[in-house]
A and B are shown apart, each in its own frame.
Chain A
């Protein structure tokens, strides 16, 4: 009987009916059809009333102001709202259950789309919102495809982003844009969760390309979308990057800048995003759980816990650390299809063309940064940019350090030195002289050092020697900058330095070369220093030699060091610190500017060829004598290199490069960036009064005030009568009758008083 009553249940509202229809679509087909017809008639009424309503109201308003037509139009508004709420309800109902009746509702999605696309100007906001959410729901139920949804979302996004497109004040454009945008993002994300949906991605990217093809500013949405998807790692291919290149070379300033900023920032953003994600995951230790399982009592619950943990770990491994499946970790600049063309186009159209003035300084600097990064990364030749930089290289220029860092990044060894040397000369002239502030000079020298580390031939010998003279400067920043320049050239081309600046190793090398009549290893333009034979073989040879020297007492040591760990590793550590001692220190000074005086002294002593190293001289001479060629001959001809040898080789090479990497551990080495903020070196300005005061107060924190506690009560109150009496002047109270009377009292009375006092005190308990 209960079943019967359930079947005959009479739905009295839409939600109830929706529930019933979902449970048993066949039985409630009639009801559904009725409601569908209801929806249709409501829709027709809406088409008749709602859409024309606003127009007719306006028309009548214009016609007769005197009559009560304004009131009529006002009431018209309320009819819209009631019938609209019904329509909203029904649209929700039909889209919820229409997957049960695909044949009858075949036309429903397209009707919604038409309503939205063609009449969106006349629809009230709530209805638009509902239709959007219903379309998304239909997509989730697979009634319409993702492509269809995107095709209806994009035009709306464009329509609502244009200004003054006869959109009324009440159009809620901003909210709608937000809704549509988040819908788009979540749609693309959900479509790309299990493997990439290449078809959808391609079609969406095609839409983006089309948007960017138009000269107006609608393309901003394409760039915004692309950037967001890139940040989430959903789009990571070269097509995406191609969209952004098109955006970057767009005529519209806003779009162009969003493209440029994408290349400058997007990768960092993406990394941050993934780091956050990985932090979010609650890390639990699988090994610990397993161990607990072994030690503790075995119960079903714990076993289940372990199983769950294993499952989640596997899932995580499958998906990678926070990144979607099959995610490529290439930076945007590396995925460029035609970097040279892109760089040339950017330079020609945005920086040097007729339209260059449409960008303000900040934007121009961003463009310069992007261009220089492109040039540095892909070793491009855009020769015009170096003379372009000249204009901005003056100390008075705003944000000049950023421009200078761009300058430095734009240099590499395939640019003709004479092109760069103009720039270097200009920097030296403008920045490095006795008349300028310390940090200006430091910035100049540091920039020159950065340039020269990329293109060592860009500076003439005389200029270099002049700049090196600043090593005696009193200002710390300048001093350090000059020394770092020396250190660089000791490494790269010691011949260019004066004799006294060359340093011990470099000087000896030069002398040795002269003695033997070899041509020096001075770098030349166009000659690549490619590796012959096996890279780093001389290191291996040296290691072998040392190893064999030590091997005499190794046997003895090995016996009692077996337990302690791998003895080999121990030896390695020793070797590295001894051999690369000097280089390491120099580089430290180079990269780390915030050292104290102590460090400075250390560096000084280093430069003056410390005496401690004397004992090593012999050793090192041997080492230097063996260059890669001889080493190759020696080792490769005498024995066959085993895989273990190669592993060792790799290790040694890594260790050698440790010092170089010190400062730039995390960065991609191909994209070494010049940090603009470090160019000026450490600057210490005189503190203002407020700052000093703040520092003083900082020291006093948590300390009591130094003063006597006397006369200070812990809780605030007035003095009691007793206190007042006690403090009263003696002369005043001596004349009182009560005091005088005491003297005149008889002995007996005195006794009485005393006794009474005693009993009173006793009663009180004293």
Chain B
């Protein structure tokens, strides 16, 4: 019956300690002391003060499911553009907001146009940096299946051309022309108009005018040389630019001048160009200088434009006016 001391001790280990009121809990034998003493404590990665004006937090709201939130966010950014125009926030802001070109809501799209305008009026260079992705999304919007988005796409193009026309026409001349033709419903294949265009032609006279204006500016910047256009420009500046044009052997002053060679871009290879239509060969064409652009336009698009413009002029109205402008420009540039 008598248990040895050792056995009793062993048993003690497995007994539950009774808790008593008013006395602190006994510490476990293997507890580790974690207290330390220091003069200051600094905690990283933790912002104790939440800045209500921290705009980075609002970037995610551009993807909010609610239309109003998206719109409000765009407006907020637009208001704060003057203060952040030179901060590092601009790149994420643009990469996040450009996809809104294909947003379903008209208000959001309008808000985006305003934002772009605001940015462009402050610093056009920023828009130029993101020109590539802009063009990609605009061309995506031009072929979008929802006709409202399609109709608004030229508006973006128009505003983009205001600020970085040179970049745009240099990099994606053919692509954008194709896109505008698609939006206008001027089929390049035959008499078969696309069904949606046939149906909406009458209704969207207002949009047609916008499209025509966009086309007008595109052709103006693409095919007309600087001197003809820059009448009101500073004379010295135009002289410098024209001297550049005269001397094509100098390295041009715009950023990434050799991008069109596509040395470092990631692209899928075309199996063999011969199987594709002329469209593809045109797309692969680089349109760096004005002569190429002009040649390609007059060769591929000019007849169609002239024919269609005549029709629209006859219909008259606002569209007729813009069409007439375009006709005059074409006459000035190509005749």
Mark A residues whose CB is within 8 Å of B: 7-14, 17, 26-31, 33-35, 37-38, 41-45, 47-49, 51-52, 65-68, 71-72, 74-75, 78-79, 83, 103-104, 106-107, 110-111, 114-115
Contact = CB atoms under 8 A, between A and B. Distances in A.
B11 interface: no
Contact of B136 (A9, A35, A44, A107): A44
Contacts of B145: 11-14, 17, 35, 38
Contacts of B269: 110, 114
A79 to B, nearest CB: 6
A104 B276 CA distance: 7
A49 B96 CA distance: 11
A35 to B, nearest CB: 7
Given A37-B182, A68-B57, A28 B267 contact: no
A757 B57 CA distance: 97
A41 B59 contact: no
Contacts, number: 117
B196 A47 contact: no
Contacts of B178: 37
Nearest to A111: B268
B288 interface: no
B260 interface: no
12 contacts: A7-B195, A11-B145, A12-B145, A12-B146, A29-B192, A30-B189, A37-B179, A45-B133, A48-B136, A51-B266, A106-B275, A114-B268
Contact residues on B (Cβ < 8 Å of other chain), bracket: 35 or more
Nearest to B143: A38
Given A11-B145, A38-B144, A65-B45, A31 B132 contact: no
Q: Of A35, A45, A49, A111, which is in contact with the most chain B CB atoms at under 10 Å from its CB?
A: A45
Contacts of B275: 103, 106-107
A29 B189 contact: yes
A605 B299 CA distance: 111
Contacts of A48: 132-133, 136, 266
Contacts of A114: 268-269
Interface string B126-159: 0000001100110110111111000000000000
A75 B195 contact: no
Contacts of B60: 71, 74-75
A448 B198 CA distance: 93
A26 B189 CA distance: 11
A66 B44 CA distance: 8
A74 B92 CA distance: 12
B193 interface: yes
Contact of B267 (A30, A47, A103): A47
Contact of A30 (B56, B193, B270): B193
A731 B189 CA distance: 121
B99 interface: yes
Contacts of A66: 44-45
B270 A107 contact: yes
Given A34-B194, A71-B59, A111-B268, A106 B143 contact: no
Given A37-B142, A48-B133, 13 more contacts: A7-B195, A8-B198, A10-B195, A27-B195, A29-B189, A30-B195, A35-B143, A47-B266, A71-B59, A104-B277, A107-B270, A107-B271, A115-B268
Contacts of B45: 65-66
A115 B268 CA distance: 7
A387 B252 CA distance: 84
A27 B133 contact: no
A49 B136 CA distance: 11
B118 to A, nearest CB: 22
Contacts of B280: 107
A716 B140 CA distance: 80
Given A35-B143, A48-B136, A75-B96, A106 B194 contact: no
